[in-house]
Every structure is written in structure tokens, then in C-alpha cells.
Structure 1
Amino acid sequence: MFRRREPVPFAFIAEAGKFRSNVTPPPRQRASVGEVAGRWLVGLTVVAGLVGSLLVGLPAVSADISPADTQQSDASQGR
């Protein structure tokens, strides 16, 4: 395999982490009204879906047992 012949000085490697560029990046473009509205709509849809699934699934996880749900047959009462 190909190896470098000249060693890299340690000081160069240590300074590489502190390097700052003098070139400023271009400013960020502001989101248009349509993009902002779309993000809000997607967020509201996700939240509405989570709340809806919670409301639909809540009765299935409910641990409350009402007396009407515990009907006993005549055979189990020993008559």
C-alpha cells in the first residue's frame, strides 16, 4: 500500500482543530409563508393523530370493571 514519505508535524495536527476560516457562509434563506404553514399543518396532523389514537385506545387499556361486565351464568352459581 502507498505510504507518505514525509512525516506530518504534530503541531500542524494540533492546530487543525482550531482553524477558523475568514470566509463567511451565505445568510440562511427565510422560509416562505407556504413552507411555514406546511410545517404547522404537518405538526398539527401528527399531534392530532397521536391524540386520536390515545382516545381510541384508552378504553382498551382501562382497568375499570363495571358490574354489568361481570355477568355470571346460572350454572356457575350452583342452581
Structure 2
Amino acid sequence: MFRRPDPVPFAFLAEADAFRSNVTPPPRERASAGQIAGRWLLGLTVVAGLVGSLVLGMPALSTDTVPQTQQPQAAQGR
């Protein structure tokens, strides 16, 4: 026979979305001048590497578009 399940209160799930903690996280530490300079140098190094690989790789990727001229044959000169 059909048995009805016991009701389960799910009100706590609805309240969990609106829950705000009264505990604030500690403030973030400010980066030192050395850390900021290190990040800038790392970024510049990565960008310089990408640009350098592009500059060095472009000639290898380009196709030769020099028109080939017909060279005189030896038989024509005789």
C-alpha cells in the first residue's frame, strides 16, 4: 500500500542562502615593493619572450614570394 513519507523540514536550507557570518576575514597583506617589482619583471620577461618568439618565428612561417625567372638554357646559347 502507498505509504506517505514523513515530512522533513527544509526551512534551514532556505535560511542558509541568506546567512551572513559576523566573522570578518583578516585584511590582506600589502605586497612589498620588491614583490611588486618582481611581478613586473616576470610579466615583462614573459611578454618579451612571446614577442621574441614571434619575431624569430615569422621568417620561418612566411612563404617565399620571389618570382622565379626563367634561366637561359645552354642549348639556346649555341
Fold similarity call, TM over 0.5: yes
Runs of 5+ consecutive residues of structure 2 not aligned to the other structure: 1-6
Tell me the residue number matched to 1:20.
Answer: 20
Note the alpha carbon deviations across 1:25-76, whole angstroms, 9 max, x for none: 1111100011101100100000000000000011112235123xx46677xx
1:9 CA drift (Å): 2.2
Identity of aligned residues (%): 71
RMSD between superposed Cα atoms in Å = 2.5
Q: Distance in 2 between matches of 1:47 and 1:59?
A: 20
Q: Which is higher, the Rg of structure 1 or of structure 2?
A: 2
What pairs with 1:19-58 in structure 2 (closer than 5 Å)?
A: 19-58=19-58
Q: Distance in 2 between matches of 1:47 and 1:72?
A: 45
The count of corresponding residues between Structure 1 and Structure 2 is: 69
User: TM-score, with normalisation over the residues of structure 2?
Assistant: 0.72
User: TM-score, with normalisation over the residues of structure 1?
Assistant: 0.71
Runs of 5+ consecutive residues of structure 1 not aligned to the other structure: 1-6
